[in-house]
């Protein structure tokens, strides 16, 4: 089993990675739970598939199931799950165990971060996207009418267990969506990893155990380094949002109804970031083409025209982009690439320039 340490002083924790990591980690899980009451918050579809292996490891704990899909990250579900955890007597010394993808982890983490002003959290991510990204780093939250992830807290888990065998039941579309976040780590700051993905990305998507574990560990190590440097996203951590400002605006335009998955929105958003950087003379055209090819090679969309039909407008997308958490002083902040493996935080980006770019992207869709 592979291990990655997230170095955060007294809040440091381990990420355990490998096939069968969940049953192999029984002792570590029980130690992380401690003596307080624990309860599981699980995606209902995941619970139906994996309840036997989970209960074999954790025993008969109280279970709160939540619907699959981005719409679950809502005020109503936050209230319902919080009330259920309180009814299960999860105290300040208790533990919330998140079992599912990024939606479940974000919601359960937010509940853990606010329940009795904060209790213990363990992440058991079951999608590729959550295994390489959302389960690590302590970002939790829900969506609002104004945009994605706009309400939440930073609340680090005490342990993350990534059982790659649980990906065997993941639909191929969800697997590709998670792969977008793997590609992100290569594009934002790891050119050798980009070359590795060009050679082995197909093996990752086919769920070849060695390639899959290597991709997940590399991604987790990249995120762990950045989170250790900038836990609350005051600077460098914003790099992890490459493609997300465009991507979140796309998700908002579709109303989080499942037609566009988060990873699909991020895939298009990353390609747009490269094309925008190329148009502004920041990124060489050949580098932009290579990046877009790497994204497309994962079976992911790279243009707005590849998404389901929707009356998107430049003004509508730009308005959604201004709801991004990185907006400062009313000005856009974008993560822009200089090359494959080299990105930076661009502040005070001109809205008119972005609007013109969006109009061009829509015209070519």
DSSP 24-51: HTHHHHHHHHTTS-EEEEEEHHHHHHHH
Q: Which of 50, 174, 176, 181 is catalytic?
A: 181
Q: Which of 155, 223, 275, 325 is catalytic?
A: 223
Query: Is the same domain home to 149 and 268?
Result: no
Distance CA 18, CA 83 (A): 34
How many folded domains does the chain comprise? 2
Closest CA to 125 of 36, 230, 50, 221: 50
- Please report, for residues 24, 181, 211, 240, 253, the alpha-carbon distance to residue 207 in angstroms, rounded to integers and kept in the order given: 20, 16, 7, 24, 32
Query: Is the same domain home to 185 and 137?
Result: no
Query: Is the same domain home to 151 and 18?
Result: yes
Closest CA to 287 of 267, 270, 303, 299: 270
Query: Is the same domain home to 21 and 153?
Result: yes
Active site residue 241: yes
- Are 170 and 128 in contact by the 8 Å Cβ rule? The answer is yes
Identify the DSSP state of 324. S
Place of tokens 């996203």: 233
> Which of 120, 143, 169 delimits the end of a domain?
169
Structure tokens of 175?
Answer: 């697997």
Compute the residue count for the chain: 365
Q: Which of 262, 264, 275, 325 is catalytic?
A: 262
pLDDT tens, N- to C-terminus, the chain (365 residues): 999 999 999 999 999 999 999 999 999 999 999 999 999 999 999 999 999 999 999 999 999 999 999 999 999 999 999 999 999 999 999 999 999 999 999 999 999 999 999 999 999 999 999 999 999 999 999 999 888 899 999 999 999 999 999 999 999 999 999 999 999 999 999 999 999 999 999 999 999 999 999 999 999 999 999 999 999 998 999 999 999 999 999 999 999 899 999 999 999 999 999 999 999 999 999 999 999 999 999 999 999 999 999 899 999 999 999 999 899 999 999 999 999 999 999 999 999 999 999 999 999 98
Rg (Cα) of the chain, in Å, rounded? 20
Query: Is the same domain home to 196 and 259?
Result: yes
Active site residue 233: yes
Q: Range of 56's domain?
A: 2-169
Q: Which of 50, 237, 275, 325 is catalytic?
A: 237
Query: Is the same domain home to 226 and 154?
Result: no
Query: Is the same domain home to 164 and 205?
Result: no
- Residue 276: per-residue pLDDT: 98
- Which residues face 38 on adjacent strands? 95
Identify the DSSP state of 121. E
Active site residue 325: no
Query: Is the same domain home to 48 and 155?
Result: yes
Q: Is 279 exposed, middle or buried (0-12, 13-18, 19+ CB in 10 A)?
A: middle
Widest CA span in the chain:
59
Listed in sequence order, the residues at least 6 apart from 79 whose beta carbon sits closer than 8 Å to its beta carbon are none
- Are 262 and 300 in contact by the 8 Å Cβ rule? The answer is no
CATH of the domain at 265: 1.20.1090.10
Structure tokens of 123?
Answer: 């992440």
- Residue 289: per-residue pLDDT: 98
- Which residues face 160 on adjacent strands? 15, 123
Feature table: binding site: 68-73, 102-106, 126-127, 139, 148, 181, 244, 262
Query: Is the same domain home to 37 and 159?
Result: yes
CATH of the domain at 29: 3.40.50.1970
Helices (H), 190-333: 191-205, 209-229, 244-253, 262-279, 285-296, 314-321
> Which of 151, 169, 187 delimits the end of a domain?
169
Active site residue 231: no
Active site residue 262: yes
Other residues' Cβ atoms within 10 Å of the Cβ of residue 53 = 15
pTM, entire model: 0.95
Structure tokens of 107?
Answer: 């919601």
Structure tokens of 150?
Answer: 């706009």
Query: Is the same domain home to 98 and 214?
Result: no
Active site residue 347: no
Distance CA 29, CA 10 (A): 18
Query: Is the same domain home to 354 and 206?
Result: yes
Distance CA 312, CA 183 (A): 26
- Residue 147: per-residue pLDDT: 85
> Which of 169, 198, 228 delimits the end of a domain?
169
Active site residue 149: no
Feature table: binding site for Zn(2+): 181, 244, 262
Query: Is the same domain home to 223 and 335?
Result: yes
- Which residues face 342 on adjacent strands? 339
- Residue 339: per-residue pLDDT: 98
Active site residue 229: no
């Amino acid at each position: 089993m592979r291990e990655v340490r997230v170095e955060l002083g007294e809040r440091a924790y381990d990420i355990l990675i490998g096939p069968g990591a969940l049953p192999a980690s029984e002792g570590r899980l029980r130690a992380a739970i401690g003596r307080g009451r624990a309860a599981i918050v699980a995606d209902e579809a995941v619970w139906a598939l994996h309840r036997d292996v989970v209960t074999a490891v954790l025993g008969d704990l109280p279970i709160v199931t939540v619907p699959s899909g981005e719409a679950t990250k809502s005020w109503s579900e936050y209230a319902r799950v919080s009330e259920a955890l309180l009814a299960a007597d999860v105290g300040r010394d208790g533990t919330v165990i998140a079992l599912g993808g990024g939606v479940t982890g974000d919601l359960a983490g937010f509940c853990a971060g606010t329940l009795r002003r904060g209790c213990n959290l363990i992440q058991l991510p079951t999608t590729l996207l959550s295994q390489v990204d959302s389960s690590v780093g302590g970002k939790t939250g829900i969506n609002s009418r104004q945009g994605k992830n706009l309400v939440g807290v930073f609340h680090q888990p005490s342990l993350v267990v990534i059982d790659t065998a649980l990906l065997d039941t993941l639909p191929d579309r969800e697997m590709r969506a998670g792969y977008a976040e793997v590609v992100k780590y290569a594009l934002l700051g790891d050119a050798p990893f980009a070359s590795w993905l060009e050679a082995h990305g197909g093996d990752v998507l086919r769920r070849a155990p060695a390639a899959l574990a290597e991709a997940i560990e590399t991604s987790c190590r990249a995120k762990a380094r950045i989170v250790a440097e900038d836990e609350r996203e005051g600077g460098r951590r914003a790099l992890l949002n490459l493609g997300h400002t465009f991507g979140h605006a796309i998700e908002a335009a579709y109303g989080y109804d499942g037609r566009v998955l988060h990873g699909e929105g991020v895939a298009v958003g990353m390609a747009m970031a490269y094309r925008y950087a190329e148009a502004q003379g920041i990124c060489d055209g050949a580098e932009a083409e290579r990046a877009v090819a790497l994204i497309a090679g994962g079976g992911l969309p790279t243009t707005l025209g590849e998404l389901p039909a929707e009356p998107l407008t430049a003004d509508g997308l730009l308005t959604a982009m201004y709801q991004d958490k990185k907006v400062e002083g009313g000005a856009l902040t974008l993560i822009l690439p200089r090359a494959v493996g080299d990105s930076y935080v661009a502040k005070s980006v001109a809205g008119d320039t972005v609007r013109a770019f969006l109009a061009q992207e829509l015209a070519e869709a």
